[in-house]
Structure 1
Amino acid sequence: MKAIRIHEKGTIDNVNIEELPKPEIKPNQVLIKVKACGINPVDWKSTVYGYFEMPYTVGTDISGIIEAIGNEVTDYKIGDEIIGSLEWAKQGAFADYVATETKYISLKPKNLSFEEAAAVPLAALTAWQGLFDKLNVQAGQKVLIQAAAGGVGLFAVQFAKWKGAHVVGVASAKNEAFLKSLGVDAIIDYKTADFSKITADFDAVFDSMASSEQTIPLLKKGGNYVTITAKPSEDLVQKQGVTATHFLFHSDAEQLKTIANLIEQNHVKVFIDKQFKLTEAKDALKYQHEGRSRGKNVLVV
């Protein structure tokens, strides 16, 4: 089978297509014929900075069809269409086949294509966990979401609106109409806004752009800030009288099932920016690195 592999960190150009044997499954695993892979920022960053033990197959997000099951697996059957975010330390998504434990997968939303479905796991779980596990966002609260038109941001604004929050998105002006069509209440254009002049009346900030110096001062006293990038300074947090949390998402099949149900009920839409073939993974990672996508980028296997 084909797999997108890297043996040495330092540059995206170190990524190569290799031929590997089809994985053999353990009794508690399923074999998945991968149909598409979601691309996330960590995928290019790990090739440059070496987050994972080398060599490894790049990628964490998949959609596909179960082709074989181990004799201990009772919750899935051959032919099931699934999505998942694979075991973090091992990665392994960008390949024709994947072997995984079922705790990393959930049934694919029936109303999505495989390409759309592959865009869901990491980004949607990050948004869900940030908003509800860390920020504890409630109906009626005012929430600021950074990079609102990005992969995580688009899920975050839709989840927050579903919950009943008042959502302000930070994005470029070109995405204003698009975001308002999703229910976003107001847009801050990061290219022109003077954050120091914005009223400090937010209950929560979801930061994916290392913007703590700009966004923490927008919180009310006692407000909550969460970041998936750089940690804020402790001095700033104490000065503003807020709570700040830094977190890394974790794969969670039950949360993914809840998200899939919201997608099937049309509460949440999935947006694809660009699709690439598996063999174009190097170009896809470079495009992801540019960081100007509206929604998610996907590899089609």
Structure 2
Amino acid sequence: MRAVVQKSFGGPEVLEIVETERPEPLAAEVLVRVHASAVNPVDVAVRSGAYPLLGEPVFGVGWDISGVVEEAGPGARFKVGDEVYGMPFFPRAATGYADYVAAPSRQLARKPASLDHVHAAALPLAALTAWQGLVDAANVSAGDRVLIHRAAGGVGHLAVQIAKARGAHVIALASAPKHDFVRGLGADEVIDYRTTDFTEAVTDVDVVFDSNSQGERSLNVLKPGGTLVSIMEHGDRELAAKVEAAGYRFAGISVEPDYASLEAIAELVDAGRIRPYVSETFPLAEAGKAHEVVGSGRAQGKIVLTVV
């Protein structure tokens, strides 16, 4: 089978396609014929060495997959032919940019029936990050005021929709050219972070969802007892201490596989409450070009590799 691997840290050019052995599923695992795999900022950081999550190369990057079960090990949740999606093994290597991935069946869920594989692959890591922050950690509910940083990005555009699906009043930060896009996601207020200091424009927020390392500044907009959800500074103990000393809650989120949440997300997708936005696709052989786009930091929504 084909798989994208890297033999050194560096720019997008270090990604190369190799021929390798197809993995064999173990008990309770399935072999997925990958149809599409999303590219996330963490993929870029791992590839460059900025975030040495997987140790030293050689390794394959990529986690988000959508595809069809080709083999099922004893005790697996799925059968051959089932369409599934997920983010297996994170933060360990999954080598998602490949023709096949073998993964524990409980780290996958049935693909949303209303989505093709490209759009389903765009969901897992970003949607789980938003879900585990907004739902599991902050318990966002009807009437809550929620501020979302980088609301037009891969995680942000799904966070807006998840918060709205929970009945929240959503305040979104995005650059002016992306305001119409973010409003279309359901945001109630949109602020241009480039021209407006959000700490002066926003008050009485119940939950801040921070994906932009703005945790300490975000405390200025929280109401007493409010929650700061941070996906960039999740391991910052000093920040956590400051947040709690100021009378707020701190929730540091490092996303993990979770089939139950993937099932809940799929239900909202099929109900028309969440829709992933894919701005561009690339064939597997052009994984490096996809990394260039994601690495620019200007991508709207998600970038996806087509495998089949």
Give the letter aligned to residue 267 of structure 1: R
Q: Is the alpha carbon distance of 1:162 and 1:9 closer, same or farther for their aligned partners in structure 2, counting shifts above 3 Å?
A: same
Q: What is the TM-score when the length of structure 2 is the normalising length?
A: 0.93
Q: CA deviation at 1:23?
A: 1.2
Deviations 1:50-87, CA, capped at 9 Å, x for gaps: 210332221001001111111332x2111111101011
Question: What is the correspondence of 1:108-127 to structure 2 with a 5 Å cutoff?
Answer: 108-127=111-130
**Are 2:138 and 1:141 equivalent residues in the alignment?**
no
Deviations 1:220-264, CA, capped at 9 Å, x for gaps: 121110111024735742564212222201110111011001101
Q: CA deviation at 1:199?
A: 4.0
- Gaps spanning 5+ residues in structure 2: where? none
Structure-2 residue corresponding to 1:283:
289
* Contact kept? 1:217, 1:240, Cα under 8 Å: no
Q: CA deviation at 1:13?
A: 2.6
CA distance in 1, matches of 2:194, 2:202: 18
Question: What is the correspondence of 1:45-194 to structure 2 with a 5 Å cutoff?
Answer: 45-49=45-49, 50-53=52-55, 54-73=57-76, 75-88=77-90, 89-194=92-197
Give the letter aligned to residue 201 of structure 1: D
What is the aligned counterpart of 2:247 among 232, 236, 241? 241
* Contact kept? 1:276, 1:298, Cα under 8 Å: yes
How many corresponding residue pairs?
A: 300
- State the SS of the aligned residue for 2:254: coil
Q: CA deviation at 1:18?
A: 0.9
Structure-2 residue corresponding to 1:40:
40
Q: Is the alpha carbon distance of 1:196 and 1:23 closer, same or farther for their aligned partners in structure 2, counting shifts above 3 Å?
A: closer
Question: What is the correspondence of 1:18-33 to structure 2 with a 5 Å cutoff?
Answer: 18-33=18-33
Q: What is the TM-score when the length of structure 1 is the normalising length?
A: 0.95
- Gaps spanning 5+ residues in structure 1: where? none
- State the SS of the aligned residue for 1:59: coil
Q: CA deviation at 1:27?
A: 2.6
CA distance in 2, matches of 1:236, 1:192: 28
% identical aligned pairs = 39
Q: Over aligned residues, Cα RMSD in angstroms?
A: 1.5
Q: Is the alpha carbon distance of 1:120 and 1:196 closer, same or farther for their aligned partners in structure 2, counting shifts above 3 Å?
A: closer
Q: CA deviation at 1:175?
A: 1.6
Deviations 1:113-167, CA, capped at 9 Å, x for gaps: 1101100111000000000111121210111000111111111111111111110
Q: Is the alpha carbon distance of 1:39 and 1:101 closer, same or farther for their aligned partners in structure 2, counting shifts above 3 Å?
A: same
CA distance in 2, matches of 1:217, 1:238: 14
**Are 2:5 and 1:2 equivalent residues in the alignment?**
no
* Contact kept? 1:39, 1:298, Cα under 8 Å: yes
Runs of 4+ that moved beyond 6 A:
none
CA distance in 1, matches of 2:108, 2:244: 39
* Contact kept? 1:124, 1:156, Cα under 8 Å: yes
Q: CA deviation at 1:24?
A: 1.6
CA distance in 2, matches of 1:238, 1:261: 35
